[in-house]
Every structure is written in structure tokens, then in C-alpha cells.
Chains A and B, each alone.
Chain A
Amino acid sequence: MNFDILFLLPIVAVGLAAAIHATAYLHGEALLHRPRFWGFFLATLVAMAGVVLAPGKIAFLLAWEAMGLASAGLVAFENEEKAVRKATWIYLLACHAGACLLMLAGVLLGRPDAFLAAFFCGIVGFGLKIGFPPFHVWLPEAHPAAPAPASAVMSGAMIPLGFYGLLRFFWPQCHLAPYATPCGWTLLVLGLVGALGGILFALPQANLKRLLAFSSVENMGVIAIGLGLAVLGWDAQPIGALALAGALAHVLNHALLKGGLFLAAGSVLRQTGTLDQDLLGGLMKRMPQTGTLFTLNALGLAGLPPFNGFLGELLIYSAAFAAVRTSSSALITAGFLVLAFLALTGGFAAAAYCKAIGATFLGEPRSQAAAEAVETPRRMWLAQLLLFVLSLAMVPGTIYLARLFGLGTDLLIAAAVFGGATAALAAALIALRRFLCPRGAVKPACPTWDCGYAEPTARMAYTGTAFTQPLADLFNPILHARRHLIPFRGHPATPTDAALVGETDDRALAGFWRPIFTFFARLFQQVHLLQNGSLHLYILLIILAVMALLIAAFVS
């Protein structure tokens, strides 16, 4: 099977939209910095295209490494900030570690009976790009750090290239008999954990782009679920075809929609100077086009009908149903796991996007910057519109894809038709409402009622953090949110401002990778004693080494 075109599409589409967006996004940048952005941006796109078009293993690895490097240049664009430099480093490490493992996988692939080893190397190597937990560490760091058009390209088009790699190098064998079980389960479990974990961590994030980054982890998880199911169920069609089609449709949906969302986040940042959702709010009024497009894209990505995101998930759900219907206990288990996890993920995703929309665009502005924001230049939201329109085209696109896989399309067509019916009915009801309450009657006249408070202010409103707090509390054993109260000081009659501040760090970074890195750094420092400056020690080392070599010579 050849997946090239499928993965080239997002590169072109998101690349184009991001480029349009960037022309305005960079407007405030110093003139000298812009060529740097464009250089890295184009290099990234070229390298990504190179990954897909690479004619051989070596060319693939070359393009892969180049892609990481070029995009690291994008991440480092605003390197005056420490967080950006840290993110760049983490990203570089992730890219390079991935590339190293891919080289190893390349070595192993050439051997006759090392396919599984190669697969595991590959899954970690590509997983470092895709963002399987716990290899996703770079995503929540690098996405907020990079300029929005870069994040859009990276999240929308680059991350899924990991799946492209997996499909290109491992698909021909991994869905066959002896390998299907381990490979499929690996993908499936990674996908389940990634999907649920990603969205769980997305939920309490205050930084909009960090939220989107974690939700990318979720989306990649969903794709992995689809792939895993496809591998497991390839021999029990139509499970395999359904799941694979679903996964691939989700690749495209995610690319277009997440690209649009990141661009919108960029617009917000450019117009307000912050991404902290607790300082935003009320932007739907001030940036109506951006806000509307963000809402629509989020709807699509939450997988809700009538948008295309639903169709991809529908295919995966159908695969899971089909798996449950089989007689194989492994497939039944897989099916149930997928159903439960995907449903939970869907619910959380809806919650997370509600939060993102609500906290960023709805209500009253919570800061001066948000209050003074105005709509972006036209081309910035036109870029998002472009992606949204393309994503609508994915509705027939998904049906076409399903047909390519030889699947019945009733399911999808019905979903599309009734999705359309929803839209039509909604339009009818809106018309009815307009008829019942003419425009004059709905003129906004008063502040929000708020149960009788005379002067409701934005500070009373629910912030994004407050909105997600119940769910975040429920899952705090996993999230390990840091909360601290800034108590008021002074006399109770004239208190200073008090606040409850909460942050949810990435557990994989804080709880897993950092200790490992620190451990090795400490260990290495013990070895540094060998280079203590003493000539005597140095010469002793030489003598000992020569003796060891001599012994080896005489023993061998």
C-alpha cells in the first residue's frame, strides 16, 4: 500500500495556510528575523516533503534528521526566552534520539529474523516524533515555544509523518501472522494511553498552545488506536480496513483542524500578547472571525457531527464494534478497550475544547490586553478559513477513502446526510427564532443577569482553570497538579489580592525523563575524577591500559 499522497496533502495544505498566516504573524518581528523564519520554514517543508518522497532508507533518514533540525530552528525562533531555549533543547534531543533509533531500526530491518526488534526500535523512534507517552515530552514544550505557523505545521503535518514512517517501513510485515499480535497490541496500548493521557493533561492547561499540544498527543493516540486495531484485525476484515481508513482519515482531519487551531492560537497571541487562558476571554466579540473559526475547528476535532472529525472516529468505532462481534477473545477485548477509551477520550476532548473556547473567546475579557484586542488582518483568518473549508471537503474525502479500502459507505453517507440534516434543521430553528424574536427584540441591553449581582465583573466569571477543576481534581492522582494559594495580606478590611494558582506539569518530563538525565549526569561526574589534572594518574592510566591490552593480546 502506498500512503505517500495521503501524507503529502497535509504538508501542502497546512504549509500553505501557515505561510499565509505567517506573512501577517511576523509583522511585528524585526526585519532581520523574518528571513530566519522563512528559511527554516521552507527548509522544514522541503524536508517533510523529502521524508515522504525519499527514494530509499538513507534518503529517508537524511530527510528525517533534516526535518527535525530545520523545525528546531523554528522552535528556537523566539530564543530570548529561557523557556524557548529549553524547549528547543528538549525538541532537538527528541528528534535526534528518534533518528538514532530509526537508524538502529534500519539496521535491524535488513536482518532476516529481527523484525520485532526493528519494530520496537521503530515505534520508539517514530514515537518520539508522534508523541506516544512517555516520548511526548517535547510536544508541550516545543509547541508553545514555536511561532504559531510553525506549531501548526509541526503539529498538523509533521507529527503524523511518524505514522507515515511506521506504515512505510513496518506495515508490509507487521499485519502478517506472527507479528500482528505483538505489533498490534503495542500500537493499541500506546494509542489508548496516549489518547486518554493526552487529553487528560490537555484539560487543565492554562496555556492555550500547551493545551493544543497535549490534545495533539490525544489525536495521535486515536490514530494509533486505529492502526493497532487495523493490525490486529487485518485478517478479520472489515475490522482492519475500517480501522485503517479511520486512522488515515483522522490523520487528515487532525492535520487540517489542528493546523487551524494553532493558527488561531497564534492570532490570539499576536493580538493580545498572551496565551494564558485565565487572562483572556471575550475575544469572540473582538475577534469574531478568529473566534468563530476556532469554534468550528474545535467542534470538528472533538469529533462531533456534523463535521468531518466525526467520520474518522466513526470508522474506528465501527471497527471496534466489528471487533466485538468476532469470536476471538483478543479482538473482543481490544474492541471493548477501544470503545471505552475512545468514548472517555471523546468526552474529555469535548470538555477541553469547551474550556478552550469558553475561556479564550467567551465571557468578558480578564485583562487589559484581551479587552483591547482587535481582529487580525484578513489573511490571518483567511488561512484558518482555508483549512476549515478543506476539512469540510474531508467529508466526501473520508467516504472516498473508505471506498478505496473496499468498505461499504452507507454508514458514512448516512452520517454525512444526517449531519447535514442537523445543520439544516438548526438553520430552520434559527430562522424560526428570528421570526419569533425579530432583530430588534434581541438587541443586547443589559449585563448578564448573574442571579442578581448588580455589577458582575469578569473576575467573578469562571476561568478556564475553574472550569476544568472538578475533572482535574478527579484525576489528580495522575495529573499531580501543583496548586498554591496566594493568601491575602494586610488587614481583612483592606486585603491585598489573593489568588489560587494551579499548574499541571508534564509528568513524563518531571517524573520520568528528568530523573534519568540527572542520574546519568551525576554518574558521569564521578567518572570525571579520572581527569583530575594529575600527570601521575594519567601515566598510571596509560600503564594500566597497556597492561590490559597486553593481557587481552595474550589471552586471545
Chain B
Amino acid sequence: MTMIEQLPVINLLALLAMALLVPLLRGRSFKTTLILGLCVLLGVLLSSILILYHVHTEGAFYYHFGGHSPVFGIELLINEFSALFTMLIIALVTLVYVYSTGDATEGIGENEYGRYYILLFILLFSMFGIIYTNDLFNTYVFMEILSITTCSIISIKRKKENYTSAFRYVMLNEIGSLSYLFGVALLYMITGYTNIELVHGAIQQSWPLYSANVVTAVAFMVVGIGFKAAIFPFHIWLPDAHAAAPNSSSAILSAIVVKVYLLILVKVIYSVYGVTIMTALNMPLIIGLIAAVGMVMGSVFAIAQKDIKRMLGYSSVAQIGYIVMGISLMSVAGLSAAFFHIVSHGLMKAALFLAAGIIIYDRKIRRVNLFDGLGFQFPVSMFVFGIAALGMIGIPITTGFIAKFNLAFATLDAGRGIFIVIIVISGLLNALYYMPVLISAFLRDNPEKQRHITFEKAPRTMLVPVVVLGILILALGIYPDLIWGLLESAVLSLQ
């Protein structure tokens, strides 16, 4: 076992050790905990890049726990797919972490800071575990850690509606997890394995014999992950949950945690069942319809929202519909379009939430119609908010346009041209609720009738990540080949 192959577990241990260290660092000032946390995050980012480079050159490798063979032990599979997405997640979380030093602790009690960062590091640990592991039951355990940490981040602020939205989130999330576990049980019944590749191998021959098991398992797993990833009919908890959470954590929840569940959906559909079984059960059409309905209805609900964070929550539901549409096309082009949209939506949604967070942090306003003339008082954050909003609509030079463009092409190749109409409609609906915010922010004048630009006085640690996100959105929009090659190889490594 060379040193590089130990890195994934070292990543997991580093994140876990940091989470355990925070309560023990109680004596020293809080600054040292923050700086130590940043070092751990940068270290994990560096090692993720190293793993990605190693996997890109030497190919995927396995990590068997306890030296046992995968038949009766647990193993991690580090291929292009898992290396790439762990690197992207840690990069985005580091950006949001730098932002959160200023804002996450707003609205939380004096001695809460430590608890927020314990939960943040355990959240990261479970996301890494979900993407690395090659075992279905292990994914369930990490999913549970992810849902408990997400719920407690949502309910950490001492506000009334936090508790009710967190409670509804726990209930629906639990239904999702237990349905996923029911699917795993059904697969275990006919194969005897919980290892993803072994289950895949065993199912290929035996599924006509036990078709009842496979059909029920597919249904329960897709519905279970649908609950957790807030795919349209099961999204009820998302807007309240993301509105209640602190600003920086709603960025993490909306931009990253929801995507991790979609990555599980991709792993389940492509690695566990495989394209042949899914097309035989004509699941792609069903998932495609669910996605199409989600794309349209998500945007329709977003239009009616008054609170800016709930509006962003509903727009997340619509964008998840795009990604699920890409996944349902069962083609390399479709999946790489879905992966590109995962990355671009992650950047855009994080930028939107962080930019809105600066305004909420400073002005304590959340109503959409009170955004008049803020462009002059918050030029930097409103400008980045504008770029990200244009990206969501799909204006050419942003990464959103590239994502929608590729998705449209992929639907054409897959022979489902009519979904392009849905993509266009959804794009227009996005414009319907993002444009008013931009117009009122830049064109109408604010209560103080201020026309000259005065820079907002938000701390630099909050402004720098927002600007970096804005630059990334434009960079990926103009030159998408930056990560397109990596995404393609990630898709091929899944087959």
C-alpha cells in the first residue's frame, strides 16, 4: 500500500480528528480553532488534488479495510468520479468556511461557535465517506450522519420557525433513509452482498429470476433518495429548511449536501443497477418525467416567494430537476451534462446565498421587494448576485448557459427532443423571479435616494469568497473545457 493510497483514509481521519478537537480546544481563544480548521481544510484539499492526479495517471484503486477481500469486508473505491467530486466539495466548502468565520456565528449564542464547527466537520466527513465508499450499507450509515448534522445545523439558531422546519425535515428525511435501507435489504435478499460491484455482478444474471425484488428495490431506492435530494414531489422540506439555516450553512446545504444525494442516485443507477436493467424497467422515462415536472413546478413556486432565501430554495428544487433530467438520459453526454450542472449550480447557488447573506447580515432584510437600490449600497455582493442570477437563467457567458446548452444537446442525442421545450420554459420561468430582484436592486433608487456607489462595509473574509465564486462562474462559462475533460473521465469511470 503506497502512501498515496492511504490518503483517502487520512482525509477522513483528519476531518474527524478536527471535529473531536474542537471541544478540547475550549481553553484557547476561538481564533486558534478557526485557523486550525482552515489548515485542516487546506490539507484535505491538497491531498484530494494529489489523489485526483494519482487516479488520473495510474487509474482507480481500492482500499480494503482490515485487508479483507471485498466479499466479506468493506472497501473504498477511489476512481475518477469519487476523486473529482471530493476535491470539488472540499474546495467549495473551504470557500464557504472562510465566509462563515464572519457570518455563521450571527444569530447563534455566544458559546455555540464550537458546536457549529463540530457539525460542519462531521458533515464534511460523512460527505467524503458517502462518495468514497463502495458499500451500500456503509452509504446508509454515512447518509444518517449527514442528515443528523444537516438537521442540527438547521435548528442551531434560536428562532421559533427553525424548530418546526427542522422537525419536518427530520421526519421526511427519515422516511427517505428508511426507504433507501428497504431497497438495500431487498438487494441483499437476492444477492447476499452489500458491496456495490458484487451486487452489480450478481444482479445482471439473476434479475429476470427475482424481478419482483429488483423492481421494488429500484422503486424504494429512487423514492428514498428523492426524499433526501428534494426531487420535485418530495421537496416539501427544502425551502423552509434552507431559509431557517444560517446564511453560510444554507449555501452549503443548498449547493453541496443536496448534490451529494444526487451523486448517490448516480451511483445507485449506474454502478448498482446499470443501464441495461434501468432501461429494461423503463425507469429513464419515469425519472425523466419527474425531472421535467420538477423543473417547471420548482420555478413556478419560486415566483410566488416573498423571502429571498425561500425563493433560492425553490430555485434549487428546479435546478435539481435539470440534474435529474441529465441523469435520466442514460447516456454519457447526458450524465456529463448533469455533472457539469452539478458543478455549475453548486457555484451559482453558493454565490447567490453568500451574496444574499452579506445583505441579510448587514441590513437584516429578507423580503424580496425591499431590495430596491441595494446595487448602490452593496455593489460587490449585488454584482456577484447578478452574475449568478444571470447564470441561473442561462445567459451565454455564464456557466449556467453551458450547462443548459449541453443538457439540451444531450436530450437531442437521447432522442427525447420534447424535453428541450421544458428546458426553455424553465429558463424563462427562472428569469421571471430573478429579473425583478436585479431590476429593483440596480435600477430603482433606494429609500435614501443614494445614486453614488458606496462600498459595503462587510468584513473582507466575507467579500473575498463571494468575488472568487463570481470569477469562477464566468471562467467556467467562457472556458468550460477546464473541467469538462475531468467530468467525461468521471462518467466513463462509472460504467
Query: Is B a genuine binding partner of A?
Result: no
